[in-house]
Amino acid sequence: MTTLVDTKKLTMVQAVTDGMRVMMKEHENVIVLGEDVGQNGGVFRATDGLVTEFGENRVIDTPLAESGIIGTSIGLAMNGFKPIAEMQFLGFIYPAFNQIMTHASRIRARTLGHFTVPMVIRAPFGAGVRAPEIHSDSVEALFTGMPGMKVVVPSNPYDAKGMLVSAIEDPDPVLFLEPMRCYRSTKMDVPEGKYNVPLGKAARLQEGSDVTIFAYGAMIEVVMKAAKTAEEKGIKCDVIDLRTLYPLDKEMIAESVQKTGRAVIVHEAPGTGGLGETIMSLINDTSFLYMKAPIERVTGFDTPVPMFALEDHYLPSADRVVQAIEKVTQF
Residue 55 CB, shortest distance to another protein, in Å, is 11
**R_g (Cα) of the chain, nearest Å:** 20
| Bridge partners, 277 (sequence order) | none
Of residues 52, 98, 272, 284, which one binds another protein by CB under 8 A?
98
Residues 203-262 that bind another protein (CB under 8 A): 246-248, 250
We find the least distance from the C-beta atom of residue 99 to another protein, in angstroms, to be 6
List the interface residues with another protein, window 164-203 (CB under 8 A).
Answer: 171-172, 200
CB of 58 to another protein, least distance (A): 9
Q: Which stretch binds another protein (CB under 8 A): 47-55, 100-108, 151-159, 319-327?
A: 100-108
Task: Return the ∠ at Cα 123 (arms to 218 and 6), rounded to 5°.
Answer: 70
User: Ramachandran region of residue 39, left (φ > 0), alpha (ψ -120 to 50) or beta?
Assistant: alpha
Instruction: Tell me how crowded residue 233 is: count the other CB atoms within 10 A of its CB.
Output: 10
The torsion angles phi and psi of 193, rounded to 5 degrees, stand at -85, -155
Tally of CB atoms within 10 A around 189: 12
110 binds another protein (CB under 8 A): yes
Footprint (CB under 8 A) of another protein, residues 37-76: 57, 62-63, 65, 67-68, 70-76
* Sheet strands side by side (includes 263-270): 203-206, 237-241, 211-215, 263-270, 296-300
User: How many residues form the binding site for another protein (CB under 8 A)?
Assistant: 45
- Whether 135 is a known active-site residue: answer yes
Q: Which of 27, 103, 114, 135 is catalytic?
A: 135
Do 331 and 294 meet the contact criterion of CB atoms below 8 Å apart?
yes
Query: Least distance to another protein from the beta carbon of 110, Å?
Result: 5
Q: Which residues bind another protein (CB under 8 A)?
A: 31, 57, 62-63, 65, 67-68, 70-81, 95, 98-99, 102-103, 106-116, 147-148, 150, 171-172, 200, 246-248, 250
